[in-house]
Amino acid sequence: MNIIETRDLTKIYQTGLKKGNVVAVDGVTLEVKPGEVFGLLGPNGAGKTTFVKALLGVTSITSGEALINGLPPSDPLSRDKVGFLPENCRFPAHLTGLGLMEFSGRLCGMKESEIDQRSRKLLQLVDMEKWAGTKIRKYSKGMAERVGLAQALISDPDIVFLDEPTDGIDPVGKKEIREVLRRIREQGKTVFLNSHLLSEVEAVADRVAILSRGKLVKTGTVEDLTVRASQYEIEADIKNERIEIPAEIGQRVSITAKGMIVVLNDPESINQIIDELRLRHISIRSVQPMRQTLEQSFFEAVADEPEAEA
Ligand SMILES: Nc1ncnc2c1ncn2[C@@H]1O[C@H](COP(=O)(O)OP(=O)(O)OP(=O)(O)O)[C@@H](O)[C@H]1O
Ligand SMILES: [Mg+2]
């Protein structure tokens, strides 16, 4: 069973301006399983925020379907077990961290005793218990974002939507937020994370989708998106041996200090190369698929797409 599901989800903003309508989300089909940390990646203007707004009923859907916990966004019960930290969220600066938690709890219709209990636990979870009584205006951006994460969890939701939770935060603050995301995952919650920061998503997400100009261009585990299936590094005592690879199998890219790098037409052919090396009594220490960073995969995925207007 999927906790989030969309089928051909499309959102067209009617701007009424000369430039016409904006297709912000264009036929997106995706599925998120319970307990997953799912990262939606894409450049500015790709449609990430619109996608989340459509799922949460903040903006209407032009066509296609969306389901959260099996219910469409038009049903308020679909948001019963959902937490949300919007993009660039500014909380009332005169509230304290604890005050914000109480305010959010009341908005969710929770009882005072329940709010009090959960607020303390959550402020601890985000390492903000020491600052619970301090006004938000005195918080750093990282601290405000951590309290924002805590308020998104006040009603003990099954799913939390986080829209760019680390945007504009320094590396130390980002690391702290990553740590909080890990703790949220450990509690078995599903996390839907919007980001244009690839290294962030790479560090925390189980699965990733890349959105470009409203369209999904790639989906998979971080592993799927970073392993080049056909490129291998073979660590072996090749030394001066001449190893020719027939063109129908692939080619040798280079000889390295450790061995050699090969690109194969079919990943299965790696066995033929291993057989050949062993036939010559060459000792093999390891055979590993080569990785590219998520950033390289991202650039490849969006390479054909012209720059979107932000
Ligand atoms: N209310 C709106 N009316 C008209 N167009 C909009 C509206 N909101 C967003 N858009 C347009 O829809 C497209 C997608 O925007 P969206 O904010 O969803 O992208 P994003 O991926 O979240 O970008 P960012 O990384 O900058 O947050 C953009 O072209 C944007 O200009
Ligand atoms: Mg956005």
Residue identifier of the C-alpha nearest atom 4 of ligand 1: 13
Q: Is the pLDDT of residue 78 over 90?
A: yes
Q: Is the pLDDT of residue 57 over 60?
A: yes
> What's the gap in Å between 162 CA and the centre of ligand 2?
10
Residue identifier of the C-alpha nearest atom 11 of ligand 1: 24
pTM confidence score: 0.81
| pLDDT score, position 309 | 45
Kindly report which listed range (56-60, 113-117, 195-199, 225-229) carries the lowest average pLDDT score.
225-229
- pLDDT-derived band at 306, boundaries 50, 70, 90: low
From the CA atom positions of the chain, what is the Rg in Å?
24
Nearest atom in ligand 1 to 42's CA: 21
Residue identifier of the C-alpha nearest atom 14 of ligand 1: 47
| pLDDT score, position 250 | 87
Give the pLDDT confidence of 215-246 residue by residue, as tens digits. 999 899 887 887 766 788 899 988 777 888 88
Mean pLDDT computed over every residue of the chain:
89
Please tell me the distance from the alpha carbon of residue 153 to that of residue 81, in angstroms, as a whole number.
10
Q: Is the pLDDT of residue 279 over 50?
A: yes
Q: Token digits for 271?
A: 């066995």
Q: Could you tell me which residues come within 8 angstroms of residue 106 by beta carbon, excluding any fewer than 6 positions away?
A: 115
Q: Which residues pair with 103 in a beta bridge?
A: none
Q: Can you state the angle between helices 141-152 and 171-186, rounded to 10 degrees?
A: 10
Q: Is the pLDDT of residue 208 over 80?
A: yes
- pLDDT-derived band at 252, boundaries 50, 70, 90: confident
| pLDDT score, position 240 | 74
- In 3D, which of 95, 93, 73, 70 has the Cα closest to residue 84? 73
Averaged pLDDT for residues 24-42: 95
Strands 207-212 and 37-41: parallel
List residues, by chain if needed, whose CB lies under 5 Å from ion ligand 2.
Answer: 48-49, 87
- pLDDT-derived band at 301, boundaries 50, 70, 90: confident
Q: Is the pLDDT of residue 308 over 60?
A: no
Question: Which stretches of the chain are assigned E, i.e. beta strand?
Answer: 4-13, 22-32, 37-41, 63-68, 82-85, 159-163, 190-195, 207-212, 215-221, 227-236, 250-255, 259-264, 284-291
The distance in angstroms from the start CA to the end CA of the chain is 35
- In 3D, which of 88, 51, 62, 20 has the Cα closest to residue 212? 51
- The whole-angstrom distance between residue 187's C-alpha and the CA centroid of its chain comes to 18
Averaged pLDDT for residues 191-207: 86
29-38, 216-225, 243-252: which has the highest mean pLDDT?
29-38
Rounded to 5 degrees, what are φ and ψ at 259? 170, -120
Percent of the chain with pLDDT over 90: 56
* Contact between 215 and 50 (Cβ < 8 Å): no
Strands 63-68 and 4-13: antiparallel
Residue identifier of the C-alpha nearest atom 12 of ligand 1: 24
- pLDDT-derived band at 162, boundaries 50, 70, 90: very high
SS3 at position 119: helix
Residue identifier of the C-alpha nearest atom 30 of ligand 1: 45
Rounded to 5 degrees, what are φ and ψ at 115? -60, -45
| pLDDT score, position 310 | 40
Which residues are near ligand 1 (CB < 6 Å)? 13, 15, 22, 24, 42, 44-50, 87, 196, 308-310
- In 3D, which of 4, 10, 88, 2 has the Cα closest to residue 50? 10
Kindly report which listed range (34-48, 159-173, 218-232, 274-288) carries the lowest average pLDDT score.
218-232
Instruction: Out of 49, 60, 198, give the residue to mutate to test ligand 1, the one with the largest number of ligand atoms within 8 Å of its CB.
Output: 49
Kindly report which listed range (11-15, 56-60, 292-296) carries the lowest average pLDDT score.
292-296
Q: Which residue has the higher pLDDT, 218 or 24?
A: 24
Helices (H), 111-190: 112-125, 141-152, 171-186
Give the pLDDT confidence of 88-127 residue by residue, as tens digits. 888 999 999 999 999 999 999 999 999 999 999 999 999 9
